[in-house]
Amino acid sequence: MKTITGSIEDKGQHRQSGRIAKNTVLLFLRMFVLMVINLYIVRLLLQGLGKDDYGTFNAVAGVVTSLSCLNSVLAIATQRFFSFVSGKGDLTDMKKIFSASVNINVGLSLFSLLLLESIGLWFISFKLNIPADRMTAVLFIYEFSCFSFVCTLLQIPFIAAVMANEDMGVYALISTGECLLRLLVAFLILYTKGDHLIFYGGGLLAISIINMLAYVIYGLRYYPECSYTKVTETSMYKQLISFSGWTFLGSLSGIFLSQGNTVLLYMFFGSATTAAFAIALQINHAFNSLCNSVVLAFRPAMIRSYASNDLDFTNRLFYFANKFLAFILLVISVPLIFEMDTVLNLWLEEVNPEILLFARLIIIYTIFLSLHHPITIVMYAMGKVKAYHLTAESITLLCLPFSYVFFKFGMPSWLALASMIGVILVAQVSRLMCLHHSYSSFSYRRYLFSFVCPLLLLTLIDAFTAFIFHISIASPILRLIVLFTIPSMLLCLIAYYILINNSERTYLLQTFTPILKK
């Protein structure tokens, strides 16, 4: 069997490896900037809106967000077909994919508005128990959120083109600009005389419009595939819709795990607990940005290599992506869990035990959830999404009824996160079973002994080291600095010899060293 060193000696694979490294660095820089800005935005929002309005906003926006899974579904589906066809070099089919995607997104925009302005509006008005004096502001927020959602739908074909062309610098630039604009809006709330909630919702709508225009203008100017043509082949629509339909189930389960619980917490525990959960979700979003930085760098290459029938390279990228993603999360999450009280006190003005518990549990949930990404990429590359999502997401969709039953019987709010963690673990096992059934190169034994066991060992070493420093250093700030430096450096050294094998070390050095030197 070829080693990774031998594999990357091929010029095409070597260029692909270099592109992965460049995109990873760009997306990591984007992730770091966005994470810092987003965390500061939460602080500004809590100051400008207050906990009650912040919790109310997240509950109301959660109703719209329950349909926002369509965004990621259609973006992933379109990108998958873009990447698959580009691996074969067929520009005509790429134009058809783009045009069919535009038609589908316009139709879904109209359908979504109809749904949101009927069932969604009824739910907001009669089921969320909004205080009477805030109903007007809530209705404004809801309408702003609906039209922001439509903007994100309409930009999907253009984002997919950016991803398929692996122009991560463009993606990083536009998303960073969007985040800076949200920071500006959050800052201006403190100096607004009118209703702060309405001002914030209106600002987010304006940002959505600007963001959509940026992707549309760039796509039309620089990508030949972003050229609208009439598509009459029903097979093209069937492929996109069929792939999207089953992917939609996967995204829907993610919505149920987060926004569904947001609404339930608001109904059973009120705005303060909802605000605590919303703060935890911001941490989740920061970790997801980190995960997406890795996933976005590897996904086009894995799909393209599969489309060109280079299964050996696809398989090797799969295992390397698993290890790289898990290691990055481990380095950050372990010290953060130990020092969460210090971090939250630096981040927020007021921290209560509920926020602290939610924040720690959401990190554990995010780590387990992230393990599905490389598996999902391979399943998407093969186009075998029906059984995959039907099996895994049928399990994860149980989270919301579990939470409802817990709360109905008067159990504590943290059980929402406990149910999220539980269903994700069971779903991960089902995903591995689907991968083993569909992907002949996958081996339980290799996955266990080359990835899971080394990762568990690294986790124990990192947790033990962090615990020693945690109980030995009295100063919170000094302890925080030490835990994010010394254990992390030690873990890097150990992971280099335990987590990755010789060929992967060579791959890592040859791929990332030239980028880091620049």
Convert the pLDDT of each residue in 19-75 to its tens digit.
666 666 666 667 667 777 777 787 788 778 877 777 777 777 666 655 555 566 667
Residue 278: per-residue pLDDT:
84
pLDDT band at 1 (very low <50, low <70, confident <90, very high): very low
Tell me whether residue 4 is in a domain. no
Tell me whether residue 190 is in a domain. yes
pLDDT band at 5 (very low <50, low <70, confident <90, very high): very low
Tell me whether residue 350 is in a domain. yes
Tell me whether residue 3 is in a domain. no
Tell me whether residue 17 is in a domain. yes
Q: How many domains does the chain have?
A: 1
Residue type, 75: A
pLDDT band at 209 (very low <50, low <70, confident <90, very high): very high
pLDDT band at 15 (very low <50, low <70, confident <90, very high): low
**pLDDT-wise least confident of 5-9, 131-135, 290-294:** 5-9
Place of tokens 């920061």: 286
Answer whether 261's CB lies under 8 Å from 277's CB. yes
How far, in Å, CA of 127 to CA of 147, rounded?
Answer: 22
Of residues 47 and 469, the one with the higher pLDDT is: 469
List, as own/partner pairs, every contact residues 94-98 make where C-beta atoms lie below 8 angstroms and the sequence separation is at least 24, other chains included. 94/225, 95/224, 95/225, 95/227, 95/229, 96/229, 96/231, 96/233, 96/236, 97/225, 97/236, 97/240, 98/157, 98/161, 98/225, 98/226, 98/227, 98/228
Residue 4: per-residue pLDDT:
42
Residue 23: per-residue pLDDT:
62
Among 334, 365, 371, 336, which Cα is nearest to 451's?
A: 371
Using CA atoms, how far residue 96 sits from 7, 101, 236, in Å, is: 33, 8, 8
How far, in Å, CA of 34 to CA of 31, rounded?
Answer: 5
Work out the mean pLDDT of the chain and round it to a whole number.
80
Tell me whether residue 5 is in a domain. no
Residue 14: per-residue pLDDT:
53
pLDDT exceeds 80 at position 2: no
pLDDT band at 357 (very low <50, low <70, confident <90, very high): very high
pLDDT exceeds 70 at position 244: no
Domain ranges, residue 112:
10-517
Tell me whether residue 2 is in a domain. no
Tell me whether residue 1 is in a domain. no
Of residues 154 and 518, the one with the higher pLDDT is: 154
Among 35, 15, 64, 26, which Cα is nearest to 347's?
A: 35
Answer whether 280's CB lies under 8 Å from 145's CB. no
Q: Tokens at residue 45, please?
A: 């929002």
pLDDT per position as a tens digit, 313-326? 888 888 888 888 88
